[in-house]
A and B are shown apart, each in its own frame.
Chain A
């Protein structure tokens, strides 16, 4: 009985804390981006102000299903983050995460707008870009850790990164896509950047748009969690180092966001698959032959 209660409390903490941390990271992102452009920048809490405002605004919908699909997408993203933080199966996380992304795509297609359609097509291309690498990372993790369980990292005697250095590089490359940063912010973008109106979110207003924002906060946590499991193992120091490295990776993403122009979707697809092939395949081959 007590363990059930304990798990429920844990889940509640994850569900509440993840968006708070994600939102703060997003606020830091905007502040840092502004500093890099020699501007003062909005307050750190700005993302929360935006989301609360969106909830207070009128929600207009072209199709009532759009809002439903966005909500389902949010639900599965939360589900993924909960599974991840509870140390469950990595493969299950990847699959439920993909499901969440698919519902977002369906939401984009359900609003009869040409701008939204273009954004959605680009979202699909982005999923094509990063999905192979995420799967390879998951399989690589299995090879290195001997289990798909995320909780398993804390039982290892050395970090996974030592066995999967190339896969880690490939993963950070595609994280740029997942974090919706330039040069790969094709389907929808943050801050003042924009193209094709607002891409996949063009027709979303009020609470629907707010849900997309919150989904993104959870996604950020999941993405950085992926970085975390590469560095953590059974010592306490490694956990701290892993958390610091997550922040460093996030900083690098912001730096890249501010220094690169957006690429065409053809280039995005080409580069991400080439990187995936080189880093992923080489690392897996090396690992299988020499260990």
Chain B
């Protein structure tokens, strides 16, 4: 029986963005959207997390941070890039210190579109990531 789908714990990381997407991620925790009804918990600890939810574009400063968070998560794990910033760099793309999307540094499994991404689509992105986690777990077992 595979339980990872029923209890995905999330680590939320924010680096260089306008914080619009972060507020939407936090909105998911409010009584209106209540992600905990899917067993989703927002942990602050990479070692307990299954899904890394990133709402930033990477810049020169936070590359090691993102890498370390990713490395500290135990397998199987998935990465969800929330918002246009996390996908390509968005409106910050031209900045002198911005590298671009998260996939420049770590492998991304799901991209959630939107500027800002809506809570509904963030939740859908997480649900998509559950499918990815499932296939990764199977691949690990084989």
Contact = CB atoms under 8 A, between A and B. Distances in A.
Interface in A10-62: 30, 34, 37-43, 46, 49-50, 52-53, 56-60
B34 A56 contact: no
A199 to B, nearest CB: 10
A202 B45 contact: yes
Q: Is the interface of B mostly helix, strand, loop or mixed?
A: loop
Contacts, number: 76
A37 B7 CA distance: 20
B39 A203 contact: no
A197 interface: yes
B130 to A, nearest CB: 11
A56 B3 contact: yes
Interface in A133-169: none
Interface in B3-22: 3-4, 6-7
Interface residues of B, number: 25
A60 B47 contact: yes
Contacts of B3: 49-50, 52-53, 56
B64 to A, nearest CB: 18
A246 interface: no
A56 B137 contact: yes
Contacts of B48: 198, 201, 205, 209
Contact of B36 (A34, A58, A194, A202): A34
A78 interface: no
B44 A42 contact: no
B43 A205 contact: no
Interface string A198-220: 10011111100100000000000
A262 to B, nearest CB: 15
Interface in B113-142: 137
B75 A58 contact: yes
A1 to B, nearest CB: 39
Contacts of B45: 197-198, 202
Given A56-B2, A57-B4, A197-B45, A43 B74 contact: no
A156 B96 CA distance: 80
A202 B47 contact: yes
Nearest to A46: B39
29 contacts: A39-B31, A39-B34, A40-B34, A41-B34, A42-B36, A42-B37, A46-B6, A46-B7, A49-B39, A50-B7, A50-B39, A53-B7, A53-B50, A57-B50, A57-B74, A57-B75, A58-B76, A60-B47, A60-B74, A191-B36, A191-B41, A192-B41, A194-B43, A197-B44, A197-B45, A198-B43, A205-B47, A205-B74, A206-B74
Interface of A: 30, 34, 37-43, 46, 49-50, 52-53, 56-60, 191-192, 194, 197-198, 201-206, 209
